[in-house]
Amino acid sequence: MRLILYLSDCIIPLTILYIVGFGLLMKRPVYDDFVDGAREGARTAAEILPTLVGLMAGVGVLRASGLLEFLTGLVGDAVSRIGFPPQILPIALVKLFSSSAATGLALDIFKEYGPDSQLGLMVSIMLSCTETVFYTMSIYFQSVKVKKTGYTLPGALLASAAGVAASVFLARHM
């Protein structure tokens, strides 16, 4: 166990040392390459900032407006008939846009029902096995200038739905 702890402390410095050493061995201007990469990273961050701000504002409006509670009330009976707890529906929806907002909603579930409750387990598994589909697509596709998403959105939504279903199934059968 101590060996693993020691390795985990050393892995990042060793990786950096390896990269710098390999760059020097290949006679690359390592510092100049680093500065160029940092410049490009800052440029990319500036390009995706408006998309990020828009997504965060949209999620804030969803939470503050009461739309999530309205949707839960609207479809709550239908989803509970198929065995899906309506309490976790807002988290499943918000997770498509923002992981941090979904985590905030999960904390509300933890406060009300407890982290070790069946709903708490479902939420924990759900947050781990679903993706922020719209956030990921908008940020990554914008950064590489992809215009045609093809089957990405339907595939990602299907995978997230499978993750949500798996979280309910797994928490019920633990």
For residue 28, the model assigns a pLDDT of: 93
For residue 49, the model assigns a pLDDT of: 82
Q: What amino acid occupies position 50? A: P
CA distances to 45, 65, 133, 157 from 140, in Å: 11, 28, 11, 16
For residue 162, the model assigns a pLDDT of: 95
Is-contact 127 91, C-beta < 8 A? Answer: yes
What is the 8-class DSSP label of residue 114? -
Backbone dihedral angles phi then psi of residue 18, each to the nearest 5 degrees: -65, -45
Is-contact 90 71, C-beta < 8 A? Answer: yes
Query: Tens-digit pLDDT profile for the chain (174 aa)?
Result: 788 888 888 899 999 999 999 999 999 999 999 999 999 989 888 887 887 788 778 777 877 888 888 888 888 888 888 889 999 999 998 899 888 888 888 998 999 999 999 999 999 999 999 999 988 888 888 778 787 878 899 999 999 999 999 999 999 987
Q: What's 34-49 look like in SS3?
A: HHHHHHHHHHHHHHHH
Radius of gyration of the chain measured on its C-alpha atoms: 21
Of 87, 112, 78, 104, nearest to 167 (Cα)? 87
Q: Whats the size of the chain, residue-wise?
A: 174
CA distances to 71, 95, 160 from 74, in Å: 5, 19, 22
Is-contact 164 126, C-beta < 8 A? Answer: yes
Of 134, 133, 121, 140, nearest to 162 (Cα)? 133
For residue 100, what are its two tokens?
A: 């941090």
What is the maximal distance between C-alpha atoms in the chain? 66
